[in-house]
Amino acid sequence: MLCFALTCGYAHAQHVVSGTVKDENTGEQLPGVNVVLKGTSSGTISDAEGRYSLEVPSQDAVLIFSFVGYAKQEVPVGERNSIDVLLMSDISTLDEVVVVGYGTQKKSVVSGSISSVKAADLEGMPINRIEQALQGRTSGLTIAANSGQPGGGATVRLRGITSFNRDGGNNNQPLWVVDGVIIDNGGIGYLNQSDIESIEVLKDAASQAIYGARAAAGVILVTTKKGKAGTLKMNYNGYYGISEPARKLDLLNATQYATLRNEAAAANGDPLPFANPEAYGQGTDWQSLIFNKSAKRQNHEFSISGGNEKSTFYTSFGYLSQEGIVATDISKYKRFNIRLNSTHKAKKWLTVGQNLGYAYNKSIGLGNTNSEFGGPLSSAINLDPITPAVVTNPTEANLPIYTNNPVRRDENGNPYGISPYVGQEMTNPLAYISKQLGNYDWGHNIIGNFFVEAEPIKGLKVRSTVGAKLAFWGNEAFTPVYFLNSSNIISQNSFTRENNVRLDWNLENTISYTRTLLEDHNVTVLVGQGAYLDDNTRMTRVTFNGIPADNFDDASFNYKVPATQRTSDASEGQDHTVSSLFARINYDYKEKYLISALVRRDGSSRFGENYRFGIFPSFSLGWVPSNENFWPANDVVNFLKIRGSYGFVGNDNIGNFSFLSTIGSGRNYTFGTTGSYLNGFSPNAPANPNLRWEETTSTNIGFEATILNDFTFTFDWYKKATKDILQNPRIPFYVGAISNPAANVADMENSGIELELGWHKQVGELTLGFNGNFSYLKNKVTNLGNGIKFLTDGNAGFQGSAYSITRTEVGHTYNSFYGFQTQGIFQTQEEIEAYVGPKGKIQPNARPGDFRWEDINGDGLINENDRKFLGNPMPNYTYGFTLSAGYKGFDVVVFSQGVAGNQIFQGLRRFGIASSNWQTEALGRWTGPGTSNTYPRLVTNDPNNNLNNPSDFYLKDGDYFRIKTLQIGYTLPKSVVSKVGLERTRIYVMSENLATFTKYNGYDPEIGGGTMSIDRGIYPQARSFMVGLTVGF
Amino acid sequence: MESMKRYIKYIAVTAVTLLPLSACNDFLEVKPKGLDLEANYYQNQEEAFNGLVAVYDVVGWQGGNLTTKVGATLSASDDHLGGGEGTGDKTFTTWADYTLTPATGPQEDLWKKGFSGIFRANTLLLKLPGVPMDENVKKRFIAETLVLRAHFNFDLVRLFKNIPLLTEIVTPDEMYGIEQATPQEVYAQIEADLKAAIAEPNLPNTVPASSEGGRVTQGIAHALLGKVYLYQQKWAEAAAEFHEVNGATPGALNAKYGYKLVDNFGDLWKSTADVKFNSESIFEVGYTSTSAGGWGCIACTEGNILNIMTGPRGYTTKTANAPDYISGWSYFPVTQSLFDAIHYDPRYKYTIANLDSLKQYGIADYTPGAQNTGYFLEKFAGRKSNTPVGQAGAPELNYPQNMYEIRLADTYLMEAEALVMAGTDLTRAADLLNAVRARVGLSAVAATMDNIKLERRLELAGEGHRWFDLVRWGDAATVLAGRGFVAGKHEILPIPLNELNNTKLEQSKEYGGTR
């Protein structure tokens, strides 16, 4: 298994051996490598250039080379006096180290459940945001992009959800910790993926509990790259390519549209709106007007790292630019990154250092990325295909609607067409784009920490870290005078500037002591203390109205409009503070029996005075039978670890001051005869001093194995029980309160299994690899408190419908789809007559072609009580795998991921606007007996609520399997590149989202958001093709 | 060893860094910015007064569904109907035709009103002892709050009979565990609150009308206590309290409180400043046109919404001398029965607006609304002359006419009733009754219950007393039989349906419950 190469020298009878130690892959010299004479304690350490020199007693001597992160090598000296060694980096072996909270641990002795993604897994991957780096790469995570808007975030759920949606579901996003600095949910997008050394996903309470009251939604630790002592290393990686939409919706053309509109009108008894549908031909394809098949995309990263025994550094520069595939002029993203990480050994016993990242981003967003209420995409889906995109016909262009209104025009002065059929929020996307041009959001993020670590006695480390995140962000927006249609009119322009600033900081002090007692007892003890402050956003916004400009470029705040034309606003956030104490002990005996226990005590400013401090303990046990003497010494099962854990974590993401009673105004009254009134103030609701964290108890049982040397296998089973989930239940009126105070009332359970499988094999010059993972998750609400039967989620409205399309009820998955159930279509009047209940005909007003609704409660009526659970928005199954192969200089990587078990609610057609266009599915509508049993007749007023009722008709299977990345690379032979002074040169081509296999007929089955899988016309993920280059100097 | 010293130094530095943070309670005490919190409010006299104003606010409560105590009880009485537009507003018509269910009717708003007031009063009573302020002023505030709490509890127990009795704010822990009290327990608390207020020398006998008119006085406390006794048929105690309010000589000024019937009955229904808090007014509910109330929050206005509600719908004048009603919403139309009873009474023209007559004579026109009778409530119908002009807000929600919760003619008649029922001083009873009659030029009659009942109906028509009186006298079942009133059921309102969800409250037996 150990691959090494020796450069043999000639035999000399000397006692000194010297040589250079290098990395086998990169050829980089390795300083600090331990070189020990086997069987003795004498040895040396390689210097900054990787050189070592050691006296050996005889030719029988054996040298042991060891270095963290590399496989140990034993080399018999023989007659040689010069031995150069290539160490193989050791990512897949058991000496791998994983980052745990406040430290690292050897993977083989970790008894909690942690999944890792390493830099090597991400190298050269087209990853714009860190969520993409995780999607499909580890078990336990369900990740769905919120949209395909460049720079857009994603919805991340670690082992399900443990809280009810508030704040758009952000309270269910895991805690991100970058180099020890806690980053709020929205802020993680600043990271440059090539700076990432590793990502650790802490999945069970045993590993999470070190983050106590903030860990219930899971913890993701990100570690950025550090320099290594040795020669200066420079790396460039970049790619350039284009993106395109993978799929268009099949929408009706103008003739089909007119035909179906006529049919719907006739069914309604209305006059036909279109005399001659054939005359309209194909009409306007709105989608093709906004889709860009060659949106540019590029990414360049350059890093320098190196150092000596005293100081090491890693510094990098990154540039990312991506154009959106929808309405590119108003959908773009740019980011610049700079990073400087350095470590200095100030004294033998004292290390200081810092990790500092800066990012600037400029983002142009089209606004509605998943909304059925207008915006370019939604309008393109719903607008009739008859209206021209640009009106060139002079007769039409001289209609009053164009001449009497400030309509938007193209560069030739022709007005953008305004639909006479589909109005309200649906507007000509080209006109919409023209009014948004130039508007953008910007952000500067400075995130970093500074640390001092002293090691006064070997193994005892005292460390102080201060970390901070300083963020500035805002936007600039000019709104011109416009008339998009009669519902979208702005008669005075405005120019708005918004600035936000926010500073979060933390201070942590830890003392750890690692010691091996009596040779076999390995103990590490950690105690620490932390203080955290965040949430203090300060915002100011100024708007000037009616400035003498008509586009963004000309707009300026130097136009001094009168005070009455200026509006301003400002606000500031409320501080959130956390104060913590924590301790952990890790113990193992001969790496056979593993015990870890930890406890964190968190105080949070968000908790009521009666529960200011929460204590979160956890422990885990492990047994490594393969290290037992009885374990057969064969190569079948090389390594086996069985582990289990139990513990408690909390969620303090419950809003600031929810426990307090606020005083409300406006309780006014008038005394006397003067006519003036007095201001009255009283509490809005009683305080809830008992308000506390949501608490999740988690049990995890798993094992890890290495089989036949090449296979690694990890299995986990877990169960999480969350109690005291926060809600604002309606309180009885007799309490007399105006608002409903928050209270800890509900309970929920998540359980699941996870598998990770790896296989790596080298056959001659062929390397093969496979990494796969699979997760199954089940979520169940077990209690809603106070006898409350169900809850509905404000995020899950369906256009103007009175019905929420999801419901949370005890015994069901949180936020399950809920609605009416169709039972086919009435083919004939007889079928309607025959559909009877206790009160006679159940749907007396139905006509053939209408849905037959299931009378769920059997009362003979169809009303709100005839709804049921229809499906689940969150996938039960997620999986991903990477296949890799290399031969000589060539390499191929295929990374794919998928989900299964969820439904998608396809609510992208505006049923409230009866004249909205249809997908071509509508051509298969019911038109007479036997024509369709799934798609109802079209009728303008929809008296049977065929389309108005949220029902299973709108639900589609959400399963998909996606080839996320395909990359083919070629590394030029070293003999060639070294001539021009390069260490390594690789060229590659790749594709992102090359193919998606799904039955779903919308743009994209991957739909994030507070409640996932509701397709309101989602901005789809792009398919990209890129060429790239990696150069190492 | 040199380096060892440095280690020690470093450890000391770390320890020093740790120390201030171990005192982390301060660090966790985050001051909310820009938010007033209950915990740090009520820090001075001004904030205490703001809290008191909030309690008074509930006295003038007008619910988001246009529900007011007076409006709702008008619709239930034999003098009025629900009215409103077209099919009518179910909130009131269901009480007018006694088709109330726990889900439909005005009960939820009236229930909310009462308990909102009690919550605010209990909050203030909890906070006041700790407020650094003038102790005498504080004692006055406490007495005022007790009287207001008694007022809210009295309305609740009269309307619902079976209510929770809350003398402290309900904490989230006990929120769902509250049970109903017996009416006797509630009445005992009401009496105790009023007696405590009366015993407080800092509660003044009178207040300056211009600046403090409407604030609780000893007179209000006595009048309310008398009424509370009267509802419990404690005749002697009731008579004693009313005697205190009405004074030694019926019709003459009671100098202690400044009470005297106003000379001109019609003046009572004006909304000008000189009429507000007149000598006949005991417990008056203040409204104003200056609060800029708008449609966004009807409950937020300080204007009187009964004016627009009771006005005739689609009113247009045909002649110059037509009355200046504004076009209203035709709620609470007056019944033929009240018209017949009052038609030849001097108070008729101040009580009823006869739109049918105006229409018939071509003076004005209007559009009949739901349950139209052609008769409207003149006492409150909004007029052009009191419609706010040049004020912010919706004019129709900002009428400044005050309402009388208790006025002297009422207490005269209540005392007369108590005396007659007790059979004690029939002479004084007759003097009281006839003082009320004499004011409008009617001759004296004997002090009998029948005469008192009729006098109350005519004198207090449209002011929200009739339904309570009918129920109290046991006459409701007879008088309201034609309206669907069922004896043993409709004497009270059902406990609102939503209030039974997840709580320990029981529905009253009258509505099929267990209480």
Q: Are A112 and A204 in contact (CB under 8 A)?
A: yes
Question: What six digits make up the tokens of A346?
Answer: 């100030």
Q: State whether A671 and B212 contact (CB < 8 Å).
A: yes
Rg (CA), chain A: 32
Over the stretch A80-123, which tens digit does the pLDDT of each residue have? Answer: 888 888 887 655 454 678 888 888 888 888 999 999 988 888 87
Closest CA to A925 of A280, A261, A383: A261
The residue type found at A911 is F
Which bin fits B242, alpha (ψ -120 to 50), beta or left (φ > 0)?
A: alpha
Closest CA to A953 of A936, A941, A937, A938: A936
Share of chain A above pLDDT 70, in %: 96
Please report the pLDDT score of residue B311 as a whole number: 92
Q: Which among A657, A674, A738 has CB closest to B32?
A: A657
Q: State whether A673 and B213 contact (CB < 8 Å).
A: yes
Q: Are A879 and A136 in contact (CB under 8 A)?
A: yes
DSSP A913-967: STT---BGGGGG---STTS-SSSPPP-TT-TT-TTTS-BGGGEEE--EEEEEEEE
pLDDT at A182 over 60: yes
Please report the pLDDT score of residue A11 as a whole number: 40
Surface of B (257-296) touching A: CB under 8 A: 273-274, 276-277, 286-291
**Is B299 touching A (CB cutoff 8 A)?**
no
Distance in angstroms (rounded) separating the CA atoms of residues A726 and A171: 11
Phi and psi at B177, nearest 5°, equal -105, 5
Q: Are B265 and B440 in contact (CB under 8 A)?
A: yes
Q: Which among B28, B37, B124 has CB closest to A579?
A: B28
Segment A450-455 mean pLDDT: 94
Q: Which among B36, B286, B496 has CB closest to A671?
A: B286
Closest CA to B277 of B407, B138, B383, B182: B407
On average, the pLDDT of chain A sits at 89
Please report the pLDDT score of residue B125 as a whole number: 96
Please report the pLDDT score of residue A787 as a whole number: 65
Q: State whether B119 and A736 contact (CB < 8 Å).
A: yes
Q: Which among B53, B118, B503 has CB closest to A669?
A: B53
pLDDT at A698 over 60: yes
Over the stretch B53-106, which tens digit does the pLDDT of each residue have? Answer: 999 999 999 987 789 999 999 999 999 999 887 655 678 888 998 988 887 789
3-state secondary structure of A869: strand
Q: State whether B14 and A464 contact (CB < 8 Å).
A: yes
* Contacts of A708 by beta carbon, 8 Å cutoff, 6+ apart: A635, A636, A638
Give, to the nearest 10 degrees, the angle between helix B107-127 and helix B69-76. Answer: 150
Q: State whether B290 and A681 contact (CB < 8 Å).
A: no
**Is B403 touching A (CB cutoff 8 A)?**
no
* Contacts of B431 by beta carbon, 8 Å cutoff, 6+ apart: B249, B250, B251
- Tokens 């509900």 correspond to A746
Q: Are B250 and B412 in contact (CB under 8 A)?
A: yes
Q: Are A336 and A329 in contact (CB under 8 A)?
A: no
Q: State whether B288 and A675 contact (CB < 8 Å).
A: yes
Q: Which among B7, B22, B178 has CB closest to A734?
A: B178
Q: What is the dihedral of CA A9, A11, A15, A20, to 10 degrees?
A: 10
The model's confidence at residue A240, banded by pLDDT at 50, 70 and 90, is very high
| Integer CA distances (angstroms), A327 to A125, A232, A379, A478, in order | 26, 44, 12, 18
Q: Which residues of B touch A582 (CB under 8 A)?
A: none
pLDDT at A692 over 90: no
Please report the pLDDT score of residue B3 as a whole number: 52
Residue A635 neighbours by CB distance under 10 Å: 12
Surface of B (211-250) touching A: CB under 8 A: 211-215
Over the stretch A466-508, which tens digit does the pLDDT of each residue have? Answer: 999 999 999 999 999 999 988 888 889 999 999 999 999 999 9
Element (H, E) at B115: helix B107-127
| CA count, 13 A, side-chain hemisphere, A967 | 29
pLDDT top residue among A403 and A657? A403
Please report the pLDDT score of residue B86 as a whole number: 61
Q: Which residues of B touch A666 (CB under 8 A)?
A: 300
By DSSP bridging, strand A593-604 and strand A613-623 are antiparallel
Question: What six digits make up the tokens of B194?
Answer: 């009023």
pLDDT at A944 over 60: yes
Kindly identify which residue of chain B lies nearest to residue A670, measuring between CA atoms: B286
Question: What six digits make up the tokens of A224?
Answer: 């950025």
pLDDT at A794 over 70: no
The residue type found at A1005 is P
* Greatest extent of chain A over all pairs of C-alpha atoms, in Å: 117
Q: Which among A575, A661, A738 has CB closest to B38?
A: A661
Kindly identify which residue of chain B lies nearest to residue A578, measuring between CA atoms: B28
The model's confidence at residue A16, banded by pLDDT at 50, 70 and 90, is confident
**Is B171 touching A (CB cutoff 8 A)?**
yes
Q: State whether B211 and A733 contact (CB < 8 Å).
A: no
Q: Which among B14, B38, B47 has CB closest to A462?
A: B14
Closest CA to A822 of A910, A958, A954, A919: A954
Q: Which residues of B touch A531 (CB under 8 A)?
A: 21, 24, 27
User: Which residue(s) pair with A208 in the sheet?
Assistant: none
The model's confidence at residue A1, banded by pLDDT at 50, 70 and 90, is very low
Surface of B (104-123) touching A: CB under 8 A: 108, 111-112, 115-120, 122-123
Segment B362-372 mean pLDDT: 89
pLDDT at B16 over 50: no
Distance in angstroms (rounded) separating the CA atoms of residues A453 and A467: 14
Q: Which among A682, A683, A686 has CB closest to B172?
A: A686
Distance in angstroms (rounded) separating the CA atoms of residues A400 and A418: 12
Q: Which among A349, A679, A734 has CB closest to B164?
A: A734
Please report the pLDDT score of residue A607 as a whole number: 84
Over the stretch A811-851, which tens digit does the pLDDT of each residue have? Answer: 999 989 999 999 999 999 999 999 999 989 999 989 999 99
Give, to the nearest 10 degrees, the angle between helix B107-127 and helix B135-160. Answer: 160
Element (H, E) at B18: helix B2-22
Kindly identify which residue of chain A lies nearest to residue B32, measuring between CA atoms: A574
Please report the pLDDT score of residue B34 as a whole number: 78
Distance in angstroms (rounded) separating the CA atoms of residues A605 and B31: 9
Give, to the nearest 10 degrees, the angle between helix B426-439 and helix B408-422. Answer: 150
Over the stretch B236-278, which tens digit does the pLDDT of each residue have? Answer: 999 999 999 999 999 999 999 999 999 999 999 999 999 999 9
Q: State whether A661 and B502 contact (CB < 8 Å).
A: no
Q: State whether A786 and B176 contact (CB < 8 Å).
A: yes
Closest CA to A703 of A763, A774, A754, A660: A754
Please report the pLDDT score of residue B9 as a whole number: 56
Mutation site, A349, A511, A733, interface B, largest B CB count within 10 A = A733
What is the distance, to the nearest Å, from the Cα of residue A93 to the centroid of all Cα atoms in its chain?
Answer: 29
Distance in angstroms (rounded) separating the CA atoms of residues A694 and A646: 17
Q: State whether B18 and A682 contact (CB < 8 Å).
A: no
Question: What six digits make up the tokens of B304?
Answer: 């009187």
Q: State whether B302 and A677 contact (CB < 8 Å).
A: yes
The model's confidence at residue A9, banded by pLDDT at 50, 70 and 90, is very low
3-state secondary structure of A858: coil
Q: State whether B59 and A669 contact (CB < 8 Å).
A: yes
By DSSP bridging, strand A1014-1015 and strand A903-906 are parallel
Mutation site, A457, A465, A466, A734, interface B, largest B CB count within 10 A = A734
Distance in angstroms (rounded) separating the CA atoms of residues A582 and A579: 10
| CA count, 13 A, side-chain hemisphere, A618 | 33
Over the stretch A403-415, which tens digit does the pLDDT of each residue have? Answer: 989 999 999 999 9
Q: DSSP strand E in B176-324: where?
A: 281-285, 316-317
**A789-794 LR contacts (CB < 8 Å, sep 24+):** A791/A164, A791/A727, A793/A165, A793/A1010, A793/A1011
Please report the pLDDT score of residue A88 as a whole number: 76
Q: Which of A66-70, A160-164, A407-411, B163-167 has the lowest mean pLDDT?
A: A66-70
pLDDT top residue among A751 and A133? A751
Q: Mapped to the 3 state alphabet, what secondary structure does B314-335 carry?
A: CCEECCCCCCCECCECCECCEC
3-state secondary structure of B178: coil
Q: State whether B214 and A672 contact (CB < 8 Å).
A: yes
Question: What six digits make up the tokens of A488?
Answer: 């979208």
Q: Which residues of A touch B35 (CB under 8 A)?
A: 574, 657, 662-663
Over the stretch B284-331, which tens digit does the pLDDT of each residue have? Answer: 999 999 888 887 788 888 999 999 999 998 898 999 889 999 888 899
Identify which of A441-455, A525-539, B382-396 has the greatest average pLDDT: A441-455
| Integer CA distances (angstroms), A613 to A509, A550, A653, B18, in order | 19, 56, 15, 18
pLDDT top residue among A10 and A941? A941
Q: Which among A666, A671, A737 has CB closest to B211?
A: A671
Closest CA to A622 of A126, A107, A234: A107
Question: What six digits make up the tokens of A97?
Answer: 């180290």
